[in-house]
Chains A and B, each alone.
Chain A
Amino acid sequence: EAGVTQFPSHSVIEKGQTVTLRCDPISGHDNLYWYRRVMGKEIKFLLHFVKESKQDESGMPNNRFLAERTGGTYSTLKVQPAELEDSGVYFCASSQGTNNEQFFGPGTRLTVL
C-alpha cells in the first residue's frame, strides 16, 4: 500500500512568489493534517481536514496560507505571497480516524529567498 506522498520534495522561490504544495494521503484516510517545521524548531500543527471539511485551522500562521481538499482526496497548501519566514519543511499526515496514528509523508522543503 502506498504511503503518504508529497510534491514537490523541494521548492526554492523568491519572496513575493506563490507556491503550491500537494499532499496525497493514504487511500481511504478521511483525516489529513498539515504540519510545518522551521529551522531549529519543533514540528507545528497547521490544520486538519476531515474529508473535504476543515476541522481545525487554528495553526495556520496568517491569511497568506490557503489549504484546500476538494473532493476529500488530495490536499493543496498554497502560500501567496511567500515571505522569508515561510521557509521550512512542510509535512502532511493522514489517519483513518481521529484517534488513530498519523502516517507522515516525507515533507516538502520550501526555501524562500
Chain B
Amino acid sequence: GQNIDQPTEMTATEGAIVQINCTYQTSGFNGLFWYQQHAGEAPTFLSYNVLDGLEEKGRFSSFLSRSKGYSYLLLKELQMKDSASYLCAVRVLLTGANNLFFGTGTRLTVIP
C-alpha cells in the first residue's frame, strides 16, 4: 500500500518562513506534488518534484529526497492569505496508470 504522512496543523507568523514536511512509503514512485487548498475551494497546484533536489518558485520551494522518502514545502515571507491546507501527494505508476495518493494535509495558520 501507500503511506503518506504530514503534520496535521502548523502555526507561523506573518513574514516568517515555514517548512511543511512530508514522508512517504510507496511503490512505483513517479513524482511528488504539493497542492494548496483554501476551505471550500479546489486544491491548486503549487509544485512538482520527480528528481532529488530543490525546486524554487517565487516564495514557495519544494525539496525531494527519493532515497529518504522525504519532501518539504518551504514558504517564505508568509502572508495572511497563505493560511490554508497544504496537501502532499505522491504519484504512483501502477499498471500503466498514474494515480495520486494524498496525505491528510497540513492546516497552516498564519498569525499577525
Which residues of chain B come closer than 8 Å to A4, judged between CB atoms? 42
Chain A interface residues (CB < 8 Å from chain B): 3-4, 33, 35, 40-45, 48, 55-56, 58-59, 91, 98-99, 101-107
Check if A44 sits within 8 Å of B102, measured CB to CB: yes
B60 proximal to A (CB < 8 A): no
| Chain A interface, DSSP helix/strand/loop, else mixed | loop
Interface size range on B against A: 20 to 34
A101: contacting residue among B45, B95, B96, B99, CB under 8 A: B45
Closest A residue to B6 by beta carbon equals A42
Which residues of chain B come closer than 8 Å to A42, judged between CB atoms? 4, 102-105
Check if B41 sits within 8 Å of A55, measured CB to CB: no
Check if A48 sits within 8 Å of B42, measured CB to CB: no
A52 to chain B, nearest CB (A): 16
- Complex Cα gap A26–B87 (Å): 22
What 0/1 pattern do residues 80 to 100 of B give for CB contact below 8 A with A? Answer: 000000010100001111111
Which residues of chain A come closer than 8 Å to B87, judged between CB atoms? 43
Which residues of chain B come closer than 8 Å to A56, judged between CB atoms? 94-95, 97, 99
B35 proximal to A (CB < 8 A): yes
